[in-house]
Amino acid sequence: MAKKRKKAYEVGELDQYLFGQGNHYEIYKKLGAHIVKNGKTEGVYFAVWAPNARSVSVVGEFNDWDTQANPMEREEPLGIYTCFIPGIKQFDMYKYCIETYKGDLIFKADPFAFHAELRPGTASKVYDLSQIKWSDAAWMEKRKNWDHKKEPMSIYEAHIGSWKRHPGREDEGFYTYREFAKDAVDYMKYMGYTHIELIGIAEHPFDGSWGYQVTGYFAPTSRYGTPEDFAWMVNYFHRNKIGVILDWVPAHFPRDAHGLADFDGTPTFEYQDPRKGEHPDWGTKIFDYGKNEVRNFLISNALYWVEEFHVDGLRVDAVASMLYLDYGKQDGQWVANKYGGNKNLEAIDFFKHLNSVLLGRNPGALMIAEESTAWPMVTGPVEEDGLGFSLKWNMGWMHDFTEYMKLDPYFRKDNHNLMTFAMSYAYSENYILVLSHDEVVHLKCSMLNKMPGLGFDKYANLKVGYAFMIGHVGKKLLFMGQEFAQLREWSEERELDWFLLAEKEHQAVQNWFRDLLHLYKKNKALYEMDDSWEGFEWINADDRYRSIFSFMRHSKDGKKNLLFVCNFTPMEWADYRVGVPRRKQYKLILDSDEEQYGGNGRKKQPVYKAVKQECDGRPYSFAYPLSPYGVAVFEF
C-alpha cells in the first residue's frame, strides 16, 4: 500500500532525520502550532515531540478543553505527535494533553509556542509570525560586516517591567514593548549607549525569577505585548542605530507543571539521572546536552531569536554551571564524565556546535558568555579547541573592582593590585567589563551604596570608579539606574527611582557617565585595539601610597591618544606630576572638577605642555592640580 504523501507544512521523514541528528536548525517551523491551509480549509497544524507518551491530544478554547476531541497521530521513529484542526484562529489558547506511560493525564504548554497566555495563566496561544513587517534592512546589511573587536560597545542592561511604569493603573502598569522602545531609544541616544541588553524576555511564570526560569523558549513574554510588538521594538532600536542583545538561558529550566520538566511523563528534555539532571541549589532541571533532539531544540531556539526577530546577540546565562558537572553540588550529588573528570563533555560539544552554526549563519551577530571561572579559550576559535563565543563577561574584573571600591580609601594602598591585576589577563579572552543586575540585588547594595564614606565621598568615589572602567580595556556594561546613582537595590516590583534626578548629586553622576560614554564612542583609542597590547599602556600602575592610577590608551594610527589620571582618595594634590612619552601638548578634555559633575568648578588651563623632567620612568612630564577623587582625561 502506497504511503500518503506529506504536505509541505507537515513533519516529513527528512525533518525527523535531521531532528534526530540534532541538525534541524529551523525545526520551530515544523514543531509547534502553525496556521496553514489544508486544501481550501484553514486551520492549525500541531506537532509535538513526546517520545514516551502513550497518546497525545490537543485541548483548547476551540474544543472546550475536551481531552478526547482532537487526538494526535504518532509519527515514528522519534515519537512526534501531529494533527490538523480546522477553524482555529490567531490567539486561540491551547495545551497538549499527554497520557504518560503510567496512564496519567498531564497538561503541557507547547515547547515551540510563539505566544503565551499572560501569567498566572499557563496556556499557549496560536500565533502567525509571517505577518510581521520589518524596515531595518540597512541595519541588517551593515551588521554583516560589523566587527565587535574593532567597534565600541557600551551596553545598557535593562528589565522592561521595572524600567518605568505607568502610575495609578489597576494592573502592574507595565510599559508595552512599543512604549519602552520609544522612551528607551531617546534616553540611550542622550546617554551614548550603543546596545541594549534585555533580561526576562522569554516567557516565564514567576516575575521574581527575572526571566531566568523559562517555560516558553520561543515566546516573547506576553507581559508587554505580542510577538509583533516585540519585533516592532527590535526594529525601532535598529532604525535608531542601537543593537539588541537578549539574555538566553540554556543552562536550566523550572519544574512548573506546564513546562518542560518530565514533559511526556519521563525526563524528556532533562538528564534522566537526577545527579546530572537537577540543580540542588536552584531547584531546577538541567538540559540533557547529550540528546540530539534537546541540543536541536536549544540551537534552533538561539537561531530563532537572531534570524526571526533580528536580535543582534545572545548573552548566555550561567555557562559555568553547564561546563562543570559538579557546579553547585556536593560529593555524591554529581557523576563524573567517562574520564573521571568534572567537565561536561556534552555541554562543551553543544557550545562548539551552537556558536559555529549561529555565528557562521549570521556574520556580525554576537554570542556572549557569562562564564565565572578561569575556563580557557571561552572566546577562542572552535578549530583550536575553544568554545567559540564572541565575548566573555569579565567576572574577575568585576569582583576585584567592587571589592576595591568598597574599601575605605585609607586601606586602598594595601589592595592596589585589585585594580591592576585584570590587565595581566586582559587579552586572554575578548572581554566585557560588567556591573550587572547581579551586583545590585540580594543585599549587595546599589553601586552608590557600595561606596565608602558619606555624602560627597560616595558620589565622588562612584564617579572615579566609572571613569576607570571606561578607560580600562574591554567593552562596557552597566545595569539600569546605576548611571544616575540609584540609592535602593533593584527590585523587579517597582520602577527605577527616576525622581532622584531632581537632586543635583544624582544629576551630576548621570552627566558624568553620559559624557564618559560619549568620550568612549568618539575616541577610537578606547576601543579599536581592545584585543592588542598596543592599545593600553600604564604610566604608573604602582602609585599605591597615593592610590592614583595613570594610563594611556592608544589609537591605531597614533593620532589621537588619551591619558587618564584617576585619584582614589580624598587627598588633594596641587601639582600631581605625571610622566609622559613625548614632549607634546596635552589637552584636558574631561575634568571631574566641573560643576556639572558635582566638582568645585575651579577653572583649569585647557592645555599642559610637557617639559624635560623625568617622572614615572618617562623622560618628560607635566604637573596638574588633582582634586580629591579627581579624574582628568587628556588628549595628545
CA 616, 621, 625 angle in degrees (round to 5)? 100
Under 8 Å between Cβ of 47 and 84: no
- The residue assigned the cell 502553525 is 34
Beta bridge partners of 97: 57, 107
CA-to-CA separations, 198 to 128, 248, 369, in angstroms, rounded: 24, 10, 15
Under 8 Å between Cβ of 125 and 116: yes
Q: Between helices 292-303 and 345-361, what is the axis angle to 10°?
A: 30
Q: Please tell me the distance from the alpha carbon of residue 230 to that of residue 467, in angstroms, as a whole number.
A: 34
Under 8 Å between Cβ of 218 and 301: yes
Largest CA distance in the chain: 97
The C-alpha cell of 505 is what?
Answer: 548629586
For strands 80-86 and 41-49, give the pairing: antiparallel
Q: Please tell me the distance from the alpha carbon of residue 19 to that of residue 12, in angstroms, as a whole number.
A: 11
Under 8 Å between Cβ of 315 and 211: no
**Which H or E element spans position 347?**
helix 345-361
CA-to-CA separations, 402 to 376, 407, 465, 492, 528, in angstroms, rounded: 24, 9, 9, 23, 26
For strands 585-591 and 607-609, give the pairing: antiparallel
Under 8 Å between Cβ of 85 and 43: yes
Q: Please tell me the distance from the alpha carbon of residue 422 to that of residue 398, in angstroms, as a whole number.
A: 9
Coil, helix or strand for 46?
strand
The C-alpha cell of 248 is what?
Answer: 538566553
Please provide residue 300's backbone torsions phi and psi, each rounded to the nearest 5 degrees. -65, -30
Q: For residue 601, how many other CB atoms are within 10 A of its CB?
A: 10
Under 8 Å between Cβ of 92 and 79: no
Name 347's Cβ contacts closer than 8 Å, sequence gap at least 6. 289, 322, 323
Q: Between helices 292-303 and 13-21, what is the axis angle to 10°?
A: 100
Q: Which of 256, 240, 290, 241 is nearest to 270 (CA)?
A: 290
Q: Please tell me the distance from the alpha carbon of residue 362 to that of residue 255, in angstroms, as a whole number.
A: 33
Q: For residue 581, give the amino acid letter.
A: P
Catalytic residues: 317, 370
Of the chain, the end-to-end C-alpha distance in Å amounts to 83
The C-alpha cell of 609 is what?
Answer: 605642555
Please provide residue 443's backbone torsions phi and psi, each rounded to the nearest 5 degrees. 65, 15
Under 8 Å between Cβ of 529 and 554: yes
